[in-house]
Structure 1
């Protein structure tokens, strides 16, 4: 009888993480997002995500359902808004693209993306996470900017941080570019039934316990209980501060990049690009809880 021989099995590749920038983010290697994750790998990945706010997994090859499965490791997925839903395989899939069929856009590429914002901040329970998978990228532009709201809050003068405690701000779906436009935008928003919701100006992350600014130039309208002129001035100063270069990382996409960011503590925006070139990314979002 041939004795049993122990054949050494290759160890699973270790996860490697390198900072994307001094401001935020990590590039993660050693994870194949198209395959199921072990509990140990998932735990390590979530720890990295909470620590860095944005994770980039380069060189991925994902179909729709593989991306859905990977996204579900971060929580329950949200359903794509009806006007953008073009995937028949899963209701969470949405395409961010300037692609056209029969002269009509088949995905979403709103101009508002070019201003910093937080996804779904105009509803009671905003998205916890957003994930983008790069499929086709223009030769220049179409980059995604991320801003670290932990660092922005922590860099504020102590007196300013104290003055923000307990304040709430209204966020609206109707896009805009600055706080002084708020009065006009809110009148039309109410008339059209556009969604809006009030959240703390400073939130506390439910996992890390860190505080972060939770306002943004695109959708934050005004601070509750504060005279409009004073509210506008304070918001403009916060917008300018949170968009300082030292808090920002600019991601230049490569096809196969998979990015997932923490929507509770990171803002994002898009740079412009030549509309004659195709930009196509596949997006899913993860449901969140009330901002506190």
Structure 2
């Protein structure tokens, strides 16, 4: 999706303005005129403000090594170590903060996780009691087609719900499944199950308030094995299907087509994201960091 013509001006490097250009969709903006290796306080403040305003920000044309990525990420808070995924291989050697997302294999062994298939709509690691606050993805190699990442505004989804549905879900809690990752792979060390009532995972409110913006949002996590506590399974499934029908609407989403050197930062608390599949013979290598959450969703 193309960026909109309108732009916002924020204080940037050495007092010069930088452009914050909204995508024109329900969320997302590109931040231009910055080098993430050399940020002063006013630049970082502008980036953080744009992130809160637009939920997802894109910075193109960056040349970052792994330590640069870690240094920039840490300006937002402490970092999680990369999660253990389906292969057991999870991070850059010596840098456990950097999680490798890739379909590339070396000597028959994957260098990262999630392969080349579709990654369905999800919130990163919502199956934890305190999920990560944000995620950051930096592109090193991209396929000639496919592998696009779409983001969905959970503010916009919640605000669009009919009042009667809002009242119905106001006090419900949802269990976020920890059995499978967004690529459909069984998490390492977890026993397979498809019973949402008994699968492992954290319980969070279905409707949450963002701690920084004060806005209300729907907190769904991912569809597979999710369960609304206190309801019969059939009732839970029907209500969740009704809510997920809103997530599928294109007016709540923005699709990003990757280039090498792109960095995308998203707010894990108020967005979901998904990835298109791509040709497995093409290489895709991304390095990701996660900013730790400060508290459980409320």
TM superposition shift of 1:20 = 1.9
Q: Which runs of 4+ in 1 moved over 3 A?
A: 10-13, 110-113, 186-190, 216-220
Tell me the C-alpha RMSD between the 2 structures: 2.1
Q: Matched residue of 1:76: which SS?
A: coil
Whose strand proportion is higher, 1 or 2?
A: 2
TM superposition shift of 1:103 = 1.0
Is 1:185 paired with 2:198? no
Compared with structure 1, are the counterparts of its residues 111 and 200 closer, same or farther at alpha carbon in structure 2 (3 Å cutoff)? Answer: farther
Q: Is the 8 A contact 1:19 1:27 kept in 2?
A: yes
Give, in whole Å, the separation in 2 of the partners of 1:115 and 1:218.
9
Determine the structure 2 residue equivalent to 1:6: none
Determine the structure 2 residue equivalent to 1:206: 211
Gaps of 5+ in 2: 1-12, 183-191
Is 1:141 paired with 2:143? no
Determine the structure 1 residue equivalent to 2:297: 291
Is 1:86 paired with 2:124? no
Determine the structure 1 residue equivalent to 2:75: 73
Q: Is the 8 A contact 2:123 2:222 kept in 1?
A: no
Gaps of 5+ in 1: 1-9, 178-182
Alignment length (residue pairs): 273
Give, in whole Å, the separation in 2 of the partners of 1:234 and 1:26.
32
Compared with structure 1, are the counterparts of its residues 270 and 252 closer, same or farther at alpha carbon in structure 2 (3 Å cutoff)? Answer: same
Give, in whole Å, the separation in 2 of the partners of 1:34 and 1:57.
12
Q: Is the 8 A contact 1:169 1:201 kept in 2?
A: yes
Give, in whole Å, the separation in 2 of the partners of 1:130 and 1:142.
17
Superposed CA offset, 1:246-285 (max 9, x none): 0011100000100000000000000010000001111011
Q: 1:253 aligns with which of 248, 252, 258?
A: 258
Compared with structure 1, are the counterparts of its residues 112 and 118 closer, same or farther at alpha carbon in structure 2 (3 Å cutoff)? Answer: farther
Determine the structure 1 residue equivalent to 2:30: 27
Alignment of 1:1-292 (within 5 A): 12-35=15-38, 37-82=39-84, 83-109=88-114, 114-175=119-180, 185-186=194-195, 190=199, 195-219=200-224, 221-288=226-293, 289-292=295-298
TM-score normalised over the length of structure 2: 0.86
Give, in whole Å, the separation in 2 of the partners of 1:212 and 1:187.
23
